Amino acid sequence: MRDREIICGHCSGSGAATCHSCSGSGHWDCGSCAGTGYRGTMKTQIESSYGTTYVKVPQPCGSCGGSGRVECRKCGGSPLTTCRKCGGNGSF
């Protein structure tokens, strides 16, 4: 039988720790567009009184929806996960 509980030094007794997969940011840069939010361009025709002009319009990335970031799968977008040392109890 234990006389007293020992506070976890890893999480300071909170039971939560910074996510190691995303370093606490909750997201990663999108691998498909390298974090730019755009993937490729589309040639578009514009009609004007001066004639026809073609311009390249950037297309949003389909993987991240144009944000350039994807949610961390380990923490689900929250920067915290359950402490590995105490199992989320905050003490031993």
| Amino acid code (one letter) for 24 | G
pLDDT for the residue numbered 59: 94
Tell me the whole-structure pTM to 2 decimals.
0.60
| Residues listed for the chain | 92
**Rounded distance, CA 8 to CA 92, Å?**
7
* pLDDT tens-digit map of 35-87: 999 999 999 999 989 999 999 999 999 999 999 999 999 899 988 899 999 99
Token output for 83: 């402490």
